[in-house]
Structure 1
Amino acid sequence: MSRHSNTPVALQVLHYATPIVVFLYSTLAKTAASCFLHKPTKKTDAQTRRYAATTILLLVNATLVAQAIAYFIESLAHPGYWATQDCVVYVLGSVFAYGSLTLGLLEARHPVWHPLLGSCLAGAALEIPTTVLQAVTQANGNDFAFSRLALQVSRCILLVCFCASGGWYTLNERLQNRQKGDETEPLLSATANGHATKTNYATVPGSPEDHDGGDSTDEESDTDEPDQVKELKKQQRKRLRQTGSWLGYLKEFKIFIPMLWPSKDRFVQACLVVIGIVLVAERFLNVLIPRQLGIITDELTKGNGNGEFPLRAVGIWMLLSWLGSRAGVYTLQSLAELPVQQFAYKSIGATSFSHIMGLSMDFHNEKNSGELIRAISQGQNLQGLLEFVCFQIGPVFVDLAIAFIYVYLLFDIYMSFILAFVGIAYIWVGAKTTAWSVKRRRRFNTAYRNESKIQNEAINNWQTVSHFNRGKYECDRYSGSIDAFNKAEMKYYIAYFMGGGAQSLIMVLGRLAATFLAIYRVSQGAAPVGNFVALTAYWRSIESPMAQVSWSIRKVTSMLTDSERLLQLFQTKPSVTDAPNAVPLSIKSGEVEFDEVDFSYDVRKSTLKAVSFTAKPGKTVALVGETGGGKSTILKLLYRYYDVSGGSIRVDGQDIRGVTLDSLRDSFGMVPQDPALFNISIMENVRYARLDATDDEVKEACRAAAIHDKIEAFPDGYKATVGERGVKLSGGELQRVSIARAILRGPHIVLLDEATSMIDAETEATIQEAFKRLTASRTTFIIAHRLSTIQHADLILVINDGQVVERGTHDELFRQNGKYVALWSKQLSKEVKDIGNTLHVDGKAAALIDLAQQEESTSDSKKD
């Protein structure tokens, strides 16, 4: 029998509390260190401190192992004796707690010290009163009692030495840092020195260093990742440094909460309630099914051979088994999850698309369309984040907590201890083997991509290979890539299978230990046979949540990484937005005034300089000049794709920065130089300008643009699709469809940017008539390089290097004989060279040709 049956309650409490407090403090402190990115020590004497601390912890563990051996030897020396439950839990639990501290210290080349120091302080604070009570209650004990007491005293001394040396190192470090004006690490708290945000970014997964041990160069492992993934992780680390903690980093993801939570959709909310009810039911079923099987076993055992059939118990078990199967509540959960997933998918996708469409031109000029589409696609993985965290990760930890309590009720605390040890060891091995295999997986993927690359390049460039007779070289190169692939694949799968095998071994050993203990308890009469059957059936419910823990953490990390692009996209704000007090634009006559407008795309180089002019109502303003002078920029500023750097633009006296963007852009009709169409029918493309237009109005606009007959000649007429961006149409046809759009729109202000640059002269004459109808009584801006198309303009502005160098009508500018005349002379000279001497020109044109030839002769003489 036990010699410690009269152990004081206080000592029993200390025995149970000591390992639990040490382990919990260590776990929570390490979690806080990771969340708040605490900086490890990297001083010259850091390794000496690490070796000394490791030695002390190994000695602490040695005292615990020796104490367990002493209990075992005493049980052999005194038959019928066994240590009380609190003593066994105290020794085994302490070995587990201090062993985990030692293992973590052995792995970490640059540890964060305050979790270790705090854990040992907590351990010493509990070990000392435990030792005192042990000495008082066992003052008259035997040699075994005195040996155990000596071991406890030794353990207390070791822990005190660890705390004293750790405190001295920490205080000395703080003193040195204070002298340098750079305090870094707190003694026990993350914020004790007021520098919680000046932390180590090495504790985060994927960062350069990892104080938790293992390979401290994650960036090296990143070298085998695609550039986009490496860039994402680099940006993630940067934002972690800026926020100072994982909590601060995750706060930025609150932008997704309104997209994930169906605050206004009652049906989806009802589906969430159904899922919650099902999850609660599943937690009960996980326990009730094996428990009911145990009840059936007990009833069969009691009535063995008497012909009684436990109908009620079997009926309940069959009902519970049906509910717990995939044909039961699982089906209901799957049906309820579908609307939740679709809601989140639509919400994220639609919000992302709306945000992108609302960004300004500076963003869209720099965008990578494929990258944006990929950002939305990967960001939509967050649709499962709410469901995953609430409905998968949460229940996993609930299952583990229920398992500890249930196995304790079935048998005793030893069974819970076995389960705890198996669970923590399983998760730890899974995390380590995953980190080990991930690097090999990256190399495996790189080798696979390299093999495909060599294969595709050689096949696609067969002609080049043949030209240089390099067939054997390419075959050898491809064979070498296969060898590299096989080697990388072998290393990866060895790591993968070894890790899986190690986890399976832990689970098997745990099951064997639990089964052995259960059989022993049943054989001793401490538990009925039904409890053994229930445990055996329940163990499968324990394995699943354990296997999901490490996978769940990786899944969440993957979701956050995938959504990093989308988060950055949402953090990008449009540079041009409505002012807080913006009002709709009211157009009365259509007068446009540029008043000392300055603008630059890049602050280092000015694009427009003090541009001033007034476009009178119903008049036409032409912008001419060499390419890159700033003509198109003027139209972009009028559209308010950008805001001016200086001066102002007014429409009927209203500064366009003070009106709403929608009302401003609704007032314009644009014919761009390079029109693009949607891959839909011609009818729909033209109607895009005015969505409520009838078919007859669309056709009338096409007649005015001299494209109607051409469309009617197509096999499908107006129903013909135009291809992506209108590739099925010629350049001239594209421009005429674009002109038809502008005509159909019927705008207040017309903007023509090289609207006839790809149209032949005969068609242009027809379109010019359409333009006359379109621009009648409308303020019009025309950009043209073919100067013959703008002779009729009421005001011609010659733009050179961002400035208006000349202004006036066609005749006025000719009389000035300046830049405008030089542009005409160059253009006419080119046309004359193209058509030779067959062109009949009037006197003015001939004079211009002579002038152009003189300029060319002068230029040639200078070159000579």
Structure 2
Amino acid sequence: MMATPRTHLLGPWSASSQEHLALVILHYAFPVVVFTYYMISSAVAFCTLQAASTETRSARTRLLQWLLFSVVITYLAHLLVFVSEFLVTRAIELPQDTIIGLLSCILVYGVVYIGSVRANISTWYPYIGPIWLALLAEPVIAGLTILTRPTGTPVSFQLGHVFTVAARYAILVVIVSIYHGIPCLGRPMRASEAERQPLLQKEAGVQREGNSAGGGTSGHGSVSEDSSDHSQIGDTAESSHERRDREAEERMKQRLKEHGNWLAYAKSFMIFFPYVWPVNNKSLQLRAAVVVVCLLASNVLNLLIPRQLGIVTDCLDDASHCNPWTQVSILTVLKLLASPAGITLLRQWLWLPIEYYSEQAMAVAAYSHVLNLSSDFHDSKSSSDIMTAISAGSSISDVLESLCFRALPMFIDFAVALIYLSVTFGPYEGFITIATATMFIHVASYTIAALKGPRRTYVNTWYKEHYVQQAGIQGWSTVACFNQIGYEESRYKEVAQDKVDKTVAVNMIYYLAHASQYLTTLCGLLAGLLLAVHQVTTGRASSGQFIMLLTYWSQLVSPLSYFATLGKTISKNLIQAEQLLEIMQTKTSVVSREGAPQFEFKGGRVQFKAVGFSYDRKKDILKDITLDVSPGTTVALVGQTGAGKSTVLKLLDRFYDATEGSIEIDGQDIRDVDLSSLRAQIGVVQQSPILFDDTIMNNVRYGNMAAADEEVFAACKAACIHEQILGFTDGYNTQVGERGVKLSGGELQRVAIARAILKRPAIVLLDEATSAVDTDTEQKIQEALRFLCRGRTTLIVAHRLSTIINADRIVVIDKGQVAEHGSHDELIRAKGKYAELWAKQIFTKPRDTELTPIGQELETGQHTQTDGQSDSQTNNPTATSTSG
């Protein structure tokens, strides 16, 4: 029987009947429909956080998974029946549509089975849907097969076909019965109940359980697992780097739980859209459009180059009549266009301004937002965390670039290759391609999951080695004093060897992962080449098409590797971006109300009216503070540490807003005026002033950026620091170092006072401006402060009462309340809190000659440690006195 063109598609059993055409369509369409349903439903389950559960697999779940595996076995058995029939009957060709259908079903239901095993399932509709589709399609396929089967088929093979189909259908019915439940098999599985509980909510519960128990483990990928792994590194504490990563990951999972699905979670990042996309820049938008065109052109070139290479190969064949020089020239042009000197260079040139626009806009916006946040934010965040978060803004651009400019073009390349190979070499080649891609992604994802634990252990050992090394070097004097060099050497050798062992283990897994991925693609390539060789030898394909196939396969490996790691890459970028997202969504608690008028200074009368304040809304720091400061007077705030003195100054400068009562300056509530205009009238000298790593000139000028050099000199003279600055090697151009570390305490204070003098404030706030300096320096600082405060309303916080005895009024704050107020003499005569504080600072108590209980305990411990000494040593009165 001669083969017709239709025979090539359908095999020797092809017929022109409508039944056979319907059967062919079903063989090809059924696996595609099942796979499409599974991918879409799995994506929906994943996006709605229903993809997996940390619950233990039940016996019913395990049974269903084994039955799913049995379905795959029946398709494999059915395929073997066809192959056996082909070998026995010596048919011209296997029925291609049937073989492709069975191979595709093996692949698709194998993927469904692997998906059910890889995770503990909390929702079953992605897995039960393919079973229902098979229940509906299998009878139709079986009926059409019987109607179109040629005569003369041996009875044994007919029985084999019937048995495999019947066994598969019986298994499908059992699966549906177990899932939905029938009286003889027990109650149905309540998938909807499991679906009501989001994946992340269960993990959060496990975390709380583990924490309450002081440890414990959780399911794969849970928050508690990450927390426990990151919170302890051997015997060392969690590093700041690990803490940031862990907290960012926990924030991402918490935000996912709050939003309920990935799509809603992704929308929260739309706050970055104006910075990622140049919304107001038409030129950059045009560049982006041309970049898209370049990407599509690259897709076309990826198709044309392998095809043109095949054409060149055919031209070199004697039987070909084309001009090889022309075809080689075309190939050269195509290769040039696809090279880094062609369209790629154009695309990079067009994209660079957009990329750096995004980076610059994101950094500027984040920096501006951070500077405008209030004190409660800055007091609760470390500067390193903030700077790390700002630098993480590039992660948003990386996500966009990964999806739009890498993943999408690669997906297009893969889809085009799949279609083109299927058309050129037939459906078998298309099946081999998609099967290889599926297996490659499964193998890669499995190895990535296997690497998670060893990789984290390796990172932990790296931090531990770094900690031991740093501790030994930084604490060398202690190590040498206690003669523990040998111990430190032994400890470092142990952790270094542990790091080597973990590194070897991780690298070995990497090597095995790469080897397994290479073997997967090699098997696919081998199968495709064998098919191509068969078609070339039978005249169905040319040698050039064989070369084209080799070229295409080399282009498919890179997209597969990228897709295998795409999810991990995006997840990592989102975790990093979480830090910046949290900052950008933080609202400042102290802000000028809309339309607030400018502050008008009218003399500087300050009034606290029943002011109350709490940092955490739980514990009151200030309670009913009522205070009236007349214009141009000096009021000192004294009291024990933690009484709330510095908080009063912070409220006046609106670092925080009072939670109760109000603060008025010249009759204006400071919350009702423009914040910038208010702070322009207030000068502050802090207890520990911070200077920038710049020159003295620039640090002093920071109080008034428009001041001339002469004004800076005058301010420094008033602060009694001018002559000392001139004595420095570089004078006013001297670099003060980070935070002013190159200056002494007194010099630092006086530079800060000069900066405040240059500002010419109407109201002065001094927070322990003379702390921790010697008497001579204090006298100079007091002289500078008198110049600064002359004629200005001044509030001073001081612990040294001798520095404020000349204040117009002294206010004693005790436990957040005004205990008493008056002049120095009045308060001394009152014999209250102030008099008690004054007495403690002026008079010294005689030193106790008897040991306190703690001293006696230490003394006893010392004698215990000196048991090995001679009696003359332990009973020596001089030695005992010295140690005491």
TM-score per shorter chain, which class?
0.7 to 0.9
CA drift at 1:404: 0.9
Whichever residue aligns with residue 30 of structure 2, its letter is T
1:164-563 to structure 2, matched below 5 A, reads 164-168=177-181, 184-185=193-194, 195=196, 220=225, 223-225=228-230, 226-301=242-317, 309-454=323-468, 477-563=491-577
Task: Decide whether aligned partners of structure 1 residues 94 and 349 sit closer, same or farther in structure 2, where only a CA change above 3 A counts.
Answer: same
CA drift at 1:214: 11
**Cα shift readout 1:204-244 (whole Å, capped 9, x = no counterpart):** 9x9999xxx99677865775544443343333333333332
Whichever residue aligns with residue 31 of structure 2, its letter is P
Contact 2:179 2:188 in 1 (8 A): no
| Whole-angstrom distance in 1 between the partners of 2:767 and 2:667 | 25
Range 448-457 or range 387-396, more displaced: 448-457
CA drift at 1:659: 1.9
Query: Could you say what secondary structure the match of 2:843 adopts?
Result: helix
**Cα shift readout 1:803-835 (whole Å, capped 9, x = no counterpart):** 2222334454455454444444444436999xx
Equivalent position to 1:801, from 805, 815, 832: 815
| Whole-angstrom distance in 1 between the partners of 2:93 and 2:372 | 75
| Whole-angstrom distance in 1 between the partners of 2:49 and 2:186 | 19
| Whole-angstrom distance in 2 between the partners of 1:791 and 1:685 | 31
Does residue 119 of the first structure (1) align with residue 135 of the second (2)? no
Query: Could you say what secondary structure the match of 1:165 adopts?
Result: helix
CA drift at 1:200: 6.2
Aligned to 1:102: 113
| Whole-angstrom distance in 2 between the partners of 1:792 and 1:472 | 61
Contact 2:52 2:119 in 1 (8 A): no
Task: Decide whether aligned partners of structure 1 residues 799 and 288 sit closer, same or farther in structure 2, where only a CA change above 3 A counts.
Answer: same
Query: Could you say what secondary structure the match of 2:813 adopts?
Result: strand
| Whole-angstrom distance in 1 between the partners of 2:227 and 2:617 | 36
1:610-689 to structure 2, matched below 5 A, reads 610-689=624-703
| Whole-angstrom distance in 1 between the partners of 2:103 and 2:744 | 83
Whichever residue aligns with residue 296 of structure 2, its letter is V
CA drift at 1:145: 4.5
Contact 1:671 1:751 in 2 (8 A): yes
Query: How many residue pairs align between the two structures?
Result: 814
CA drift at 1:459: 6.3
| Whole-angstrom distance in 2 between the partners of 1:244 and 1:426 | 31
Identity %: 38
Contact 1:197 1:243 in 2 (8 A): no
Does residue 87 of the first structure (1) align with residue 106 of the second (2)? no
Task: Decide whether aligned partners of structure 1 residues 708 and 171 sit closer, same or farther in structure 2, where only a CA change above 3 A counts.
Answer: farther
Query: Could you say what secondary structure the match of 1:8 adopts?
Result: helix
Task: Decide whether aligned partners of structure 1 residues 654 and 41 sit closer, same or farther in structure 2, where only a CA change above 3 A counts.
Answer: closer
Contact 1:375 1:563 in 2 (8 A): yes
Does residue 65 of the first structure (1) align with residue 79 of the second (2)? no
Task: Decide whether aligned partners of structure 1 residues 590 and 172 sit closer, same or farther in structure 2, where only a CA change above 3 A counts.
Answer: farther
Equivalent position to 1:162, from 175, 181, 184: 175
Aligned to 2:27: 15
**Cα shift readout 1:312-344 (whole Å, capped 9, x = no counterpart):** 222111111111112222222333333233222
| Whole-angstrom distance in 2 between the partners of 1:674 and 1:461 | 27
| Whole-angstrom distance in 1 between the partners of 2:225 and 2:197 | 28
| Whole-angstrom distance in 1 between the partners of 2:769 and 2:502 | 58
Contact 1:39 1:200 in 2 (8 A): no
1:754-773 to structure 2, matched below 5 A, reads 754-757=768-771, 771-773=785-787
**Cα shift readout 1:623-659 (whole Å, capped 9, x = no counterpart):** 2333332221111110111111211111222211122
Contact 1:197 1:245 in 2 (8 A): no
1:728-747 to structure 2, matched below 5 A, reads 728-747=742-761
| Whole-angstrom distance in 2 between the partners of 1:616 and 1:471 | 65
CA drift at 1:400: 1.2
Whichever residue aligns with residue 104 of structure 1, its letter is G
| Whole-angstrom distance in 1 between the partners of 2:826 and 2:202 | 69
Give the TM-score taking structure 2 as reference length. 0.84
Equivalent position to 1:701, from 712, 715, 723: 715
CA drift at 1:682: 0.7
| Whole-angstrom distance in 1 between the partners of 2:692 and 2:120 | 59
| Whole-angstrom distance in 2 between the partners of 1:794 and 1:429 | 80
Contact 2:54 2:203 in 1 (8 A): no
Query: Could you say what secondary structure the match of 1:563 adopts?
Result: helix
**Cα shift readout 1:166-223 (whole Å, capped 9, x = no counterpart):** 111899999897xxxx96136xxxxxxxx3758765699x9999xxx99677865775
Does residue 25 of the first structure (1) align with residue 25 of the second (2)? no
Whichever residue aligns with residue 152 of structure 1, its letter is V
Contact 1:447 1:488 in 2 (8 A): yes
Task: Decide whether aligned partners of structure 1 residues 50 and 808 sit closer, same or farther in structure 2, where only a CA change above 3 A counts.
Answer: closer
Task: Decide whether aligned partners of structure 1 residues 320 and 48 sit closer, same or farther in structure 2, where only a CA change above 3 A counts.
Answer: same
Task: Decide whether aligned partners of structure 1 residues 740 and 271 sit closer, same or farther in structure 2, where only a CA change above 3 A counts.
Answer: same
CA drift at 1:716: 0.9
Task: Decide whether aligned partners of structure 1 residues 119 and 309 sit closer, same or farther in structure 2, where only a CA change above 3 A counts.
Answer: closer
Task: Decide whether aligned partners of structure 1 residues 124 and 200 sit closer, same or farther in structure 2, where only a CA change above 3 A counts.
Answer: farther
Give the TM-score taking structure 1 as reference length. 0.86
Query: Could you say what secondary structure the match of 1:680 adopts?
Result: coil
CA drift at 1:479: 4.8
Contact 2:604 2:631 in 1 (8 A): yes
Range 261-270 or range 758-767, more displaced: 758-767
Contact 1:624 1:631 in 2 (8 A): yes
Whichever residue aligns with residue 14 of structure 2, its letter is H
Task: Decide whether aligned partners of structure 1 residues 730 and 385 sit closer, same or farther in structure 2, where only a CA change above 3 A counts.
Answer: same
Query: Could you say what secondary structure the match of 1:185 adopts?
Result: helix
Task: Decide whether aligned partners of structure 1 residues 96 and 759 sit closer, same or farther in structure 2, where only a CA change above 3 A counts.
Answer: closer
CA drift at 1:116: 1.2
CA drift at 1:253: 2.3
Query: Could you say what secondary structure the match of 1:597 adopts?
Result: strand
| Whole-angstrom distance in 2 between the partners of 1:418 and 1:355 | 53
Contact 1:408 1:416 in 2 (8 A): yes
Aligned to 2:13: 3
Whichever residue aligns with residue 93 of structure 2, its letter is W
Contact 1:683 1:719 in 2 (8 A): yes
| Whole-angstrom distance in 1 between the partners of 2:411 and 2:305 | 20
Range 377-386 or range 400-409, more displaced: 377-386
Contact 2:636 2:810 in 1 (8 A): yes
Query: Could you say what secondary structure the match of 2:794 adopts?
Result: strand
In structure 1, stretches of 5+ residues that fail to align are 187-194, 834-864
Contact 1:375 1:565 in 2 (8 A): yes
CA drift at 1:456: 5.4
